[in-house]
Each structure stands twice: as structure tokens, then as C-alpha cells.
Chains A and B, each alone.
Chain A
Amino acid sequence: KQEVTQIPAALSVPEGENLVLNCSFTDSAIYNLQWFRQDPGKGLTSLLLIQSSQREQTSGRLNASLDKSSGRSTLYIAASQPGDSATYLCAVRLGTSGSRLTFGEGTQLTVNP
């Protein structure tokens, strides 16, 4: 059974700092990995999707990397801003069943002005 772990569970940083969020998964037979942002009481917003054949994806100040062999992904946020404060979740889409995603528990990020 695929398990997804996110470390740390919570992170507090001063504004302007670069930071890295970690995601690890136990089964490397994945189709893709997706990073989401969730604001309190809201649904999830997709940030980046990395296909299994890709190593990284970038969008603005966000960069996500994928290392399938080691079962790891990182989300790098450059020059953090208070508006980045949210919970960040990663999810992997299994290779054996193309529709199912397994989510990590998320990292709650607070960026202090």
C-alpha cells in the first residue's frame, strides 16, 4: 500500500526566506506527483504536477523536484511572502491504478512579516 509522508508537519519562517518542503512515498511505481496548497476552510489548489518521466517543474517562485528511485519530492519556495502561508500537500498517483491519488498529511507553513 502506498504511503506518503510529509516533513515537517509545521514550519514557521520569516518573510523573504527560501524554504524546502519534503514529501516521501513508499512505492516508486507512480504516474505522477502533484503539489497542492490549501487555505483554511477551503479546497485544494493545484500548484505543480510532475510526471514520472520528469525531474522537476517550475512555476514562478515554486520549484518541485521528483526522485522516483529514492521515493522523494521537494517543493522549493523562493523569497517567501506572508501570502504563502497555507498548508501544502503532496499526492502521488499510483501506477497500478491510474486514477487513485494518495495524499500526505501536509506541511502547515507560516511566513511571518
Chain B
Amino acid sequence: DADVTQTPRNRITKTGKRIMLECSQTKGHDRMYWYRQDPGLGLRLIYYSFDVKDINKGEISDGYSVSRQAQAKFSLSLESAIPNQTALYFCATSEEGTEQFFGPGTRLTVL
């Protein structure tokens, strides 16, 4: 079984809809992250959390919100989706000071 899972894997939605992307991990890591990736670009950090009570904005948090429901779960919401939020979204986990482990990604298309 995968250590970091994301649901859904693919989603097509319309402008203005509320969307939630979910991430679960079985690695027991305290740190979790949400990134988006656009074609030809690297990973840009949206939000990150170092434990259940800790939520921090990344470099591109506008238009997004998150919830850390438990150590193992970190959800990303788009309150009112817009076309320029079309991207590949990755969740990741890590221990302090170590490499990140990524989920398989969610491909989101906003029409």
C-alpha cells in the first residue's frame, strides 16, 4: 500500500465550485505540505503544517485553505475554483530535516 495517498486522482470542475482535495499518510510523519505544479515549472508551496495544531501559508496561498484533521490527514480546499487553478497538486510528508515523500498527485481542471 502507498504511504501517501491523494483523492481524487483526477477532477474536472467548473468555475465557482468548491473543491476539496484530500491527503492521507501512513508514515507517521508530523509534517505535511501541499504544492501545485504547472507545466514546465517546479513545485510551489501552498500551505504546510508541522503538527495538528500548526498551519502556515506558503508562497501561493491566496484562493486556497487547508485543514489538518489528524496527524495523518491534510486537506486542501479551493473555496471558489477559477481556471488558473488548473494544475497538478501534490501532497507531501516529512520528518524534521529529512526528505519529503510525495503522494501520486491530483490533476485538477477548472473549466
**Do the two shown chains form a genuine complex with each other?**
no
List chain A positions with a Cβ less than 8 A from chain B: none
B-to-A contact residues, CB < 8 Å: none
